[in-house]
Amino acid sequence: MEMSSYGWTYLSRDALRRAENQLSGAGEGVRDEIGFLIVHQRYADHFFPGTSVLHTRLRYVLFVPWIYQTLYEEGSSGRVQDSLEKAEIRLAGRLKHLRGAIGGFNFPRPTSQPASLSYWAALGAWGILRETDGRLPSRAQIHALLQSRHRKAKDDDGQALLRAELPFTTLPPRPDDWSSAGPTQFRLLSREAEFLQWQFADLCPNDAPGQKSLFAKLSAAPRTQADACWSPGIVEIAGDDGARLRRARHAASLAAVGRAVYAALVETLKEEVDRQTVSRKHRDNLAKVLEDHASMAGRLELGATRRLRTRRVRPQATPCPLVPGVWREPAHGMGQRSASRGGASPLPLAPGLGAAR
């Protein structure tokens, strides 16, 4: 006679939360069922290095290092990941009244894509996160630094021994209301806008390190009214990249058509195969998408595109004339700074995020 056996599987709270988010459809992130995302990524990396579709508001590139600085100064003895999660939930609560607040929908529960994760690559690309031993540190390495016992060791005067520094460049001061529990804002202060403009000034595409990116050119250009990044005024600013910008428009139209057809087919299959009652939203909209995008999509010359290479150039840090006492860390792929900015007034760094005095 064989004896039966039994057992159980242990799942962490984080794993259960992620599974629940996926099943409920509340998870945040990017879905790319038909593979157009790589096209968007290639063009985005060339024109706007460091940016991501997960980005919502520019001030998060300051919020994230400020949170780490705060955790560093507090020196909590608990798990760094737990302290970071609490800090990001607290920030989400202060921003939840604003559009673009990461984690605002889930508050007070944590989000699966916190700002410290979705903006980490941007911190490195824009020179805000500095290299350590020739490489950009990961979040896990920063967490290990914060957790390090060296920070807990103190001398006879109560000062920390062997205190490792966070690998962030010199940042603008945290706002006066940083420690407040009340609502805060996405609007950049003047010193913050100037700091970020300086970081963007020489951003170069990874595949063309000697050429300024469209991102860098826009940050230095006069205010430009445009409905899309391929509008005539933007194409003029892009200069030699104008032809590539027009191809990006054709590729975007092709992706719009492909996704519209896919969504319409999904509706049809759910109705005819799964026998579900579904909306006709995508099927009814398909004709309009084709009317708007089919012509542009047909102009895309795939032979004119080329694979983007990965290459980095790291010039020396230079003092920032816009923010006294701040030294600018060069970002990935940056070329040498031009001698003159031509006196152009800066372009607002993001829609609705002009500098506040």
Q: Are residues 202 and 112 in the same domain?
A: no
Specify which residues 129 forms β-bridges with.
Answer: 168
Tell me what pLDDT residue 133 has: 84
Q: What is the pLDDT of residues 190-227, one digit of tens each?
A: 999 999 999 999 899 888 888 899 999 999 998 888 88
203 with 331, same domain: the answer is yes
pLDDT, position 55 = 92
Is pLDDT of 154 > 60? no
Q: Which of 107-111, 310-314, 345-349 is the most confident on average?
A: 107-111
pLDDT at 156: 60
Residue written as token pair 């805000």: 128
Tell me, yes or no, whether 354 lies in a domain: no
Residues 300 and 196 in one domain: yes
User: Same domain for 333 and 202?
Assistant: yes
pLDDT per residue over 95-129, tens digit each? 999 999 999 999 999 998 999 999 999 999 999 99
The verdict on 87 and 234 lying in the same domain is: no
Residues 153 and 253 in one domain: no
Residues 192 and 333 in one domain: yes
Percent of the chain past pLDDT 70, that is, above it, reads: 72
pLDDT band with cut points at 50, 70 and 90 for residue 155: low
Pair of tokens at residue 20? 């629940």
pLDDT value, residue 273: 94
Query: Residue 59's pLDDT band (boundaries 50, 70, 90)?
Result: very high
Residue 211 lies inside a defined structural domain of this protein: yes
Q: Residue 242's domain spans which residues?
A: 30-49+188-339
Residue 35 has which token pair? Answer: 């593979």
Mean pLDDT across 286-293:
96
Total number of domains constituting the chain: 2
